[in-house]
Amino acid sequence: MTQPPIRIVLADDERMVRTALRAILSAEPGLEVAGEATTGAEAVSVVRELRPDVVLMDVRMPEVDGIRATEQIVGSMAQPPRIVVVTTFENDAYVYDALRAGASGFLLKRSDADALVQAVRLVARTDTLLFPSALRSLAAQHARSAAPAAPWVSRLTGRERDVLRHMADGLTNAEIARRLDVGPATVKSHVAAVLAKTGARDRTQAVIAAYEAGFLSGR
């Protein structure tokens, strides 16, 4: 029943945090802290060298952040370790980005010692609580529409948004005019403004921009 210990690398720029994590994890039978890193870049090289089973990765780190480091590790190793991203807030953006980058799990800094240990043990096993394969594509898909939060969207006037939404429903200018109860010429003006602001050449490109920017999020 004796198994090889779960080897862990800690990546966090604050010494206090690393010390605390190490203290908790080292006390656990079957867990072993193999190494530490204080920057994202260092994390990548340390992980590549030590080939641990699990990496506890802070999001905020100098130079290269945790997300990017995760990306590089997952992208460059044949059998990358499970990476648990440690974060302070339940910030949505972080979650999506980290999933897309290849993280296997999340841990909030306010979690207690028990949760930490359990999370590490769990994520070290291959197929327990959810994700990698399934969520990877899901996150990738979501990233496209939620990531940039396009700049031009905020520059559209209210009417222009109305018109763009109807354009994205595949309506002609005349149809939009009827829906909005205005003249066709008015719609043309709004369409022209939308094209200018989105940088689109024609209505098709404008609709594409709307989709890519997640402009249609509210249906």
| Site for its own copies, rule CB under 8 A | 90, 92, 95-96, 105-108, 110-111, 115, 118-119, 121-123, 125, 127-131, 133-135, 137-139, 141-142, 145, 167-170, 172, 200-205, 207-208, 211, 217
182 binds, among DNA, its own copies, none (CB under 5 to 8 A by kind): DNA
| Contact status, residue 151 vs residue 133, Cβ threshold 8 Å | no
Q: Which of 76, 204, 208, 211 binds DNA (CB under 7 A)?
A: 204
Nearest approach, Cβ of 144 to DNA (angstroms)? Answer: 23
HEC states along 109-154? Answer: CCCCHHHHHHHHHHHHCCCCCCCHHHHHHHHHHHHHHHCCCCCHHH
Burial of 21 (0-12, 13-18, 19+ CB in 10 A): buried
Binding of residue 197 to DNA (CB under 7 A): no
Q: Which of 30, 62, 183, 199 binds DNA (CB under 7 A)?
A: 183
Binding of residue 157 to DNA (CB under 7 A): yes
Q: Which is nearer to DNA, 92 or 212 (CB)?
A: 212
119 binds, among DNA, its own copies, none (CB under 5 to 8 A by kind): its own copies
Give CA angle at 32 (28, 38), nearest 5°. 115
Place of tokens 């050449």: 201
Binding of residue 195 to DNA (CB under 7 A): yes
128 binds, among its own copies, DNA, none (CB under 5 to 8 A by kind): its own copies
Stretch 114-153: interaction string toward DNA, x if CB under 7 A: ----------------------------------------
Query: What b-and-e string marks burial along 147-177, b requiring 16 or more CB atoms within 10 Å of the CB?
Result: eeeeebbeebeebbebbbbbbbeebebeebb
Work out whether strand 82-87 and strand 105-108 pair parallel, antiparallel, or are unpaired: parallel
Binding of residue 172 to DNA (CB under 7 A): yes
Q: Which is nearer to DNA, 110 or 201 (CB)?
A: 201
- Phi, psi at residue 196, to the nearest 5°? -60, -45
Distance CA 191, CA 160 (A): 7
Binding of residue 111 to DNA (CB under 7 A): no
Burial of 84 (0-12, 13-18, 19+ CB in 10 A): buried
Binding of residue 184 to DNA (CB under 7 A): yes
